Structure 1
Amino acid sequence: MLLDTAALYFRAFHGLPETITAPDGTPVNAVRGLLDIVARLVGEFAPTDLVACWDVAWRPAWRVELISSYKAHRVAEPADGARPAREIVPDALTAQVPIIAQVLDALGVARVGADDHEADDVIGTLAATATMPVDVVTSDRDLFQVVDDARQVRVVSTARGMRDLELVTDAVIRTKYGVGAAQYADFATLRGDPSDGLPGVTGIGEKSAATLLSRFGDLEGVLAAASKVGSGIPVGQAAKLRAGAEYARRAAPAVRVVRDLSLPQFDGVIRMTDERRRTGADLARRWGLGRSMDRAIAALTTE
C-alpha cells in the first residue's frame, strides 16, 4: 500500500477541528486524523507492506521549467533566488508535518521521497517496480495513470471521503473517461488540469480528448493526425490541436509521473515491535494523540 501522504494529511486537517491540540496547545488534528486513516486502511485492506510516499519537492523545478504555470496558483510567495517558492499551507498544518513524520517513523512506517520530485513520482516508481499487488491511496486523479490491471495495481480513491472509498481499476477509468489507464496522462495533457495549473489544449475538453485518443491511440498519434489532411479530425479541431501542439509536447512529461527514480533502500514490511509500541505510546502522551495512536498500533500489529 502506497500512501500519497500529503493528500491524506491535508484531508485529515480539513476534516477535523483545529481545537484538537496537544497538551502544549500545538494543533494535532492532522496527526490524529492521519493515524485514524492509516488504521482504517490497514484494517480494511490488510497490506503486508506500507509506504508513506513523501513530497520532497511539491513543485519540482524541472516541471516548472517545462510549464511555468505548474502549481503557480498555490505559491504563497514567489521564489526570490535565495529560497524556493513556498506552498500555501495553513500555519496550523505546517506545524504538524514534522510531528507526522516523527509518528510515522516511530511506528515503523517507511517514509520515502526523492530530491526534486513529488510523492507522485515515488508512487509511480514503486508501482512500476513492485513484485506484489499494489494499492495506491490518493485523492488525486493524476495517479490514475499508474493503474495496471494486469499487474494488480489499483487506486484506492479518497476523493469522495474516507467513508466512501472507491477502488479504481482500468475498467472504472474507461467507464468514467472513455480512455484506458495507459492513456490517462495524455488525456490529462489534452484536457488540462486547473488544480495543477495546467491549462490544456485550448478548445479540447474531456469528451473530445477521449474521442481523439480512442481513435489515434496516444498524444503523438493525435498530434500527427491533426497535421494531416483527411485524417478525419474536424478542420476547426485540427487547427486547435496544431496551435496547442507545442504546449502539449512540453506539458506531457510534466503530467506523466516518473517511473524510474533511484530511491533509497527502505523496509516497507508492516512489523510492530515492543519498542515501537513504547515509542508510539510516549508520543501519544507527548502530543495528546489518545485513541488515534491506539487504533494505529492495533491495526499495524499483524501477529
Structure 2
Amino acid sequence: MPSPAGRLMLLDSASLYFRAFHGVPESVTAPDGTPVNAVRGFLDSLAFLVTTHRPTRLVACWDDDWRPAFRVRALPSYKAHRVAPDGGEDAPAALGPQVDVIVDVLAALGLARVGAPGYEADDVMATLAVREASAGGDPVDVVTGDRDLFQLVDDTTGVRVLYCGKGVRKAEAVTGDWLRARYAVAGGPAYADMAVLRGDPSDGLPGVAGIGEKTAAALVTRHGDLAGLLAAADDPAADLPAGQRRKLLEARDYLAAAPVVVQTVRDVPLPPVADALPTAPADADRLGELVHRWGLGSSVERVLTALAQSRGA
C-alpha cells in the first residue's frame, strides 16, 4: 500500500512553461529588458503547487525529444503541424532562451530534472509513476495540462493527475471517480482507448471519422477496450451498429498505429532519481547569480519558502 508519509509530484515541465509564457505578459523582463515571463510564471506555478499540495519529493520531467521517432514512424501526422522549417519545434522565439534559464535555476535549487533521449516527458512521468507504484511507495501527483495523461490515473496505487487545463491555480484533482463522472470511462487505460477513437487535432491524431467523445467512451465501455471493439467490428454477429462498424473498419490502419502514439511508455530506462525536496539550494552562489542576472528575486524566494514549508509538513 502507498505510504502515507509523503507524496511524489511529477511536473510536465513543458506544459507548465508554455502555459506560463502565454499567461504572463512579455513585459515581465530581466533588468536588461530580456523577457523572463516564462521563467517567472514557471517558478510561481512551482511555488503554488508545492505550497498547496505539499509533496515531499518532486521531479521536473523533461521532453528530451518532443516528437520521438517511434511515434512518428507509427503515425507520420503526429505533431507534424508543429515542425519548424529547421526541423525543430515551432515555438515562440522568446521562449527558447527562457527554457535554458529554467534549467539553470532548477539545478541551482537542487530540484530533480529528468528526461530521456528519444522519449517525451509523458513517458518519463509514466515510468516514474509506475516505478513508484510497483515499489509500494508514495502516492503520486502528475501535474499537467495534457489530458492524455489521464491514462495514468490509478486509484489503487494513489496516482492522480492535477489537471491545469484552466490554470495551475484552478487545477482539478483527476481520480477514477472524476473520470467516470466526466467521461463515463472506467479508468485510466480506458481513457487512452477513448482518446485514440476521439482523436486530437492538436497532436495530429485524426481519430475515427464521425465518432466523437461520448460515442468513443460508450464504445470502450461496452466492449472493454480497443482490442475488444475491433474484434466486435470484425464479427458480423456482434452488437454494433452498421455505421459504426463501417467507420471502424475503414479506420483500421489508424487504429493499429494510434495506440503507439497515445499510450505512454512505462518502462523508459531511467536511473534512480534523487527526488527529495532539497533542504538548501544545491548551489547558493549560482542561484544568487541567476536571481541577480534575470531579476528573479521574488519568484525564487516564493519557491524557497514553499519548499521549506513542504519539508516541514
Same fold? TM cut 0.5: yes
User: Residue type matched to 1:293 in 2?
Assistant: V
| Partner of residue 58, structure 1 | 66
For structure 1, the residue ranges without an aligned partner over 5 or more in a row are: 79-84
| Partner of residue 205, structure 2 | 198
**What is the alpha-carbon distance in structure 2 between the residues aligned to residue 69 and residue 142 of structure 1?**
17
SS of alignment partner, residue 156 of structure 2? helix
Q: CA deviation at 1:88?
A: 1.2
CA RMSD of aligned residues (A): 1.3
Is the 8 Å Cα contact of residues 52 and 111 (structure 1) preserved in structure 2? yes
Q: Which residue of 230, 239, 249 corresponds with 1:242? A: 249
Q: CA deviation at 1:254?
A: 1.2
**What is the alpha-carbon distance in structure 2 between the residues aligned to residue 282 and residue 295 of structure 1?**
17
**What is the alpha-carbon distance in structure 1 between the residues aligned to residue 154 and residue 174 of structure 2?**
10
**What is the alpha-carbon distance in structure 1 between the residues aligned to residue 206 and residue 271 of structure 2?**
34
User: Residue type matched to 2:73 in 1?
Assistant: E
Question: Deviation per CA, 1:185-204, whole angstroms, max 9, x where unpaired?
Answer: 11111111111110011222
Q: CA deviation at 1:277?
A: 4.2
| Partner of residue 178, structure 1 | 184
**What is the alpha-carbon distance in structure 2 between the residues aligned to residue 4 and residue 177 of structure 1?**
22
Question: Deviation per CA, 1:273-292, whole angstroms, max 9, x where unpaired?
Answer: 26544432331112111211
Q: CA deviation at 1:230?
A: 2.0
The worse-fitting range, judged by mean Cα deviation, of 141-150 and 196-205 is 196-205
Q: Which residue of 270, 273, 290 corresponds with 2:280? A: 273
Q: CA deviation at 1:25?
A: 2.5
| Partner of residue 2, structure 1 | 10
Is the 8 Å Cα contact of residues 107 and 272 (structure 1) preserved in structure 2? no
Is the 8 Å Cα contact of residues 281 and 287 (structure 2) preserved in structure 1? no
**What is the alpha-carbon distance in structure 1 between the residues aligned to residue 243 and residue 72 of structure 2?**
30
Q: CA deviation at 1:77?
A: 1.7
Q: CA deviation at 1:271?
A: 1.4
| Partner of residue 32, structure 2 | 24
Matches of residues 1-303 of structure 1 in structure 2 within 5 Å? 1-77=9-85, 85-130=87-132, 131-179=137-185, 180-273=187-280, 276-301=283-308, 302-303=311-312
C-alpha change, 1:103 and 1:247, in structure 2 (3 Å) is: same
**What is the alpha-carbon distance in structure 2 between the residues aligned to residue 120 and residue 73 of structure 1?**
20
Is the 8 Å Cα contact of residues 51 and 268 (structure 1) preserved in structure 2? yes
Q: CA deviation at 1:253?
A: 1.4
Question: Deviation per CA, 1:132-155, whole angstroms, max 9, x where unpaired?
Answer: 100000000000000000000000
TM-score normalised over the length of structure 1: 0.95
**What is the alpha-carbon distance in structure 2 between the residues aligned to residue 274 and residue 185 of structure 1?**
39
SS of alignment partner, residue 291 of structure 1? helix
User: Residue type matched to 2:165 in 1?
Assistant: A
What is the aligned residue count?
Answer: 297
SS of alignment partner, residue 132 of structure 1? coil
**What is the alpha-carbon distance in structure 1 between the residues aligned to residue 27 and residue 243 of structure 2?**
55
**What is the alpha-carbon distance in structure 1 between the residues aligned to residue 147 and residue 282 of structure 2?**
38
**What is the alpha-carbon distance in structure 2 between the residues aligned to residue 275 and residue 114 of structure 1?**
22
**What is the alpha-carbon distance in structure 2 between the residues aligned to residue 279 and residue 296 of structure 1?**
16
SS of alignment partner, residue 92 of structure 1? coil
